Chains A and B, each alone.
Chain A
Amino acid sequence: EAGVAQSPRYKIIEKRQSVAFWCNPISGHATLYWYQQILGQGPKLLIQFQNNGVVDDSQLPKDRFSAERLKGVDSTLKIQPAKLEDSAVYLCASSFEGDTEAFFGQGTRLTVV
């Protein structure tokens, strides 16, 4: 079974630039999550999709972050404009249902300089 695919693996941008991350979940998984993990901390949920609808985006900084899940499969997370404090690993995960085990991608390490 193919895992959760994320790209790119690494990204370095200057502050105020924009960046986009892509995620392809495991086939058949209805739930897709985006997490932000700052060094030394646990993953923080940014947004959760159920199929192509948003279940929870309460911790998504909507003035600069946006996410979509096209046709209930792939998803993109965008940051525009980026700030220094956005430097983190962005993890995508998927699960069959909302509270079952989640499968994680390798993440995208973003450095904002």
Chain B
Amino acid sequence: SQQGEEDPQALSIQEGENATMNCSYKTSINNLQWYRQNSGRGLVHLILIRSNEREKHSGRLRVTLDTSKKSSSLLITASRAADTASYFCATPPRGFKTIFGAGTRLFVKA
């Protein structure tokens, strides 16, 4: 069973625009992780936010975490065609098991 669910399922934007995708989860977590998967490449870890953090930045990525709502958002600013990929959240419950949602497919048009 999936712990995390991403929303929207698909997103299409113009290059230079911002992209926001969300993740909701069900049980308590130690941390929440975002991954990207390009066609032809494996999954790549983007950012990890711990349960006691509310916001984290990495380059053009901004992640927020609201444990009271059991939700997280990933913001990609000034998107590029190279950001076209599927984005997954992984929400390990306390201790183990990195489990992924179904993903958000982002398409950035040049």
Contact = CB atoms under 8 A, between A and B. Distances in A.
Interface of A: 33, 35, 41-45, 48, 50, 55-56, 91, 93, 95, 98-107
Contacts of A100: 31, 48
Interface residues of B, number: 23
B20 to A, nearest CB: 19
Q: Which of B48, B94, B98 has the most CB of A within 10 A?
A: B98
Interface string B71-92: 0000000000000000010101
Contact of B42 (A48, A50, A55, A105): A105
Interface in B51-110: 88, 90, 92, 94-103
B102 A41 contact: yes
Nearest to A101: B45
A107 B45 CA distance: 15
B98 A42 contact: no
B43 A43 contact: yes
17 contacts: A35-B100, A42-B88, A45-B98, A45-B99, A55-B97, A93-B43, A93-B98, A98-B92, A98-B97, A98-B98, A99-B92, A99-B96, A100-B48, A101-B33, A103-B45, A104-B44, A106-B41
Contacts of A43: 43, 88, 100
Interface of A is mostly: strand
Contacts, number: 61
Contacts of A93: 43, 98
A45 B97 contact: yes
A7 B2 CA distance: 27
B27 interface: no
Contacts of B45: 101-103
Contacts of B2: 42
Contact of B96 (A55, A103, A105, A106): A55
